Amino acid sequence: METKIFYSKQQLARFFGDYLSTLTQENEQINIALSGGSTPETIFDVLSQEYSNAVDWERIRFFWGDERCVPPDDGESNYKMTHQHLFSLLPVPEKNIFRIKGELPPEDALRDYREIIDKELPKKEGLPFFDIVLLGMGDDGHTASIFPHEIDLWDSSELCEIGTHPTSGQKRVTLTGRVINNSREVIFLVTGKNKAEKVDEILNEKNDYMKYPAARVNRDKSLWLLDQEAVGS
């Protein structure tokens, strides 16, 4: 497991921007699953303001690790957030965007996304293969939309499942652990002091840390990009 600590979200974003720039120079095409929530907003802002030329955006195909079961124009939509902070500001072809259709009934959105990732992604070990899966982590240790109270979803034999937010009851479509761990690389984007306790437990294998879905990501392929607050300093 590799960790990199930055003094600000902007510095973290520039590291990621440089990384994407190199990847899109060296690869004809890369498939990325994006994370949702609020952490990516600032990172996407830096990418759209400072990396519009340095990254070959036409070489990236965008998918999601999870989505809330809401319409794409809803304030809770991960797609909407990404459109506002990234796609609407960069030369990303519409044909390269494979969103989870949160506006559909959850079972229909689930079926649709299973078909999309099964059809649109190369395979490794018979499973869809992402070059990068971007993940965030909740202050309860959840990742994508697999929450501690539904940790069994991580080991599901399906490509993606329906998760339920523990307090709001909101339904989400989420990749499962076998697809996340089948990727080339998992990059965690985790910032803020409210994450420090779980970051410490997971990175230092403390207490019953494996009860946190974020701890189930293969350590040998995960890179944690953290700000100083998230490591408690």
CB of 20 to ligand 6PG, least distance (A): 19
With CB under 6 A as the contact rule, the residue among 17, 102, 128, 136 that binds ligand 6PG is 136
CB of 163 to ligand 6PG, least distance (A): 9
Q: Any contact of residue 72 with ligand 6PG (CB under 6 A)?
A: no
Residues touching ligand 6PG, count (CB under 6 A): 16
Q: Indicate the residue whose CB is closest to ligand 6PG.
A: 136
CB of 177 to ligand 6PG, least distance (A): 13
With CB under 6 A as the contact rule, the residue among 36, 128, 141, 177 that binds ligand 6PG is 36
With CB under 6 A as the contact rule, the residue among 66, 150, 227, 229 that binds ligand 6PG is 66
| DSSP string covering the chain | -EEEEESSHHHHHHHHHHHHHHHHHH-S-EEEEEP-SSHHHHHHHHHHHH-TTTS-GGGEEEEESEEESS-TTSTT-HHHHHHHHTGGGS---GGGB----TTS-HHHHHHHHHHHHHHHS-EETTEE--SEEEE---TTS-BTTB-GGGGGGGG-SSSEEEEE-TTT--EEEEE-HHHHTTSSEEEEEE-SGGGHHHHHHHHTT-TTGGGSGGGGS-GGGEEEEEEGGGGT-
